Amino acid sequence: MTTLEVLVEARKLIALPEHWTQNVFARTLEGNPTATLSLGAVCWCSVGAIYKVSSCHNHGALAALKKVARTSLAKYNDNHTHAEVLSMFDRAIQKESK
């Protein structure tokens, strides 16, 4: 997958608030932390979503998000709202589309 494809798919994965989380990469339906690729995972943080859709550490997608966030992605995800995180993805997608 290209960086742009990973960003688009990761954003889709966390588009609904109930599919997004903070403070861990992924959670189960019960809210317990779980592995990003676990079959029981139902919500992900921004970094976890990248790992989920690319099945690895997609350095291009992570770098594109970090450039927009201007801080660590985990810190941005954990200290901003769902809408702000989606906006971060939108800005990174826009830059990658050029």
**7-42 tens-digit pLDDT:** 999 999 999 999 999 999 999 999 999 999 999 999
25, 3 contact by CB (below 8 A): no
User: What's the CA gap between 25 and 3, in Å, rounded?
Assistant: 19
Query: Quick one: pLDDT band at residue 79, thresholds 50, 70, 90?
Result: very high
Helix (H) or strand (E) holding 26: strand 26-28
Q: What is the pLDDT of residue 29?
A: 97
Q: What is the pTM of this model?
A: 0.94
Q: What is the pLDDT of residue 57?
A: 72
User: What's the CA gap between 56 and 77, in Å, rounded?
Assistant: 19
For tokens 């906006």, the residue is 87
Taking only the tens place, the pLDDT of each residue in 42-72 is 999 999 999 999 977 778 999 999 999 999 9
Delimit the domains of the chain by residue range. 3-97
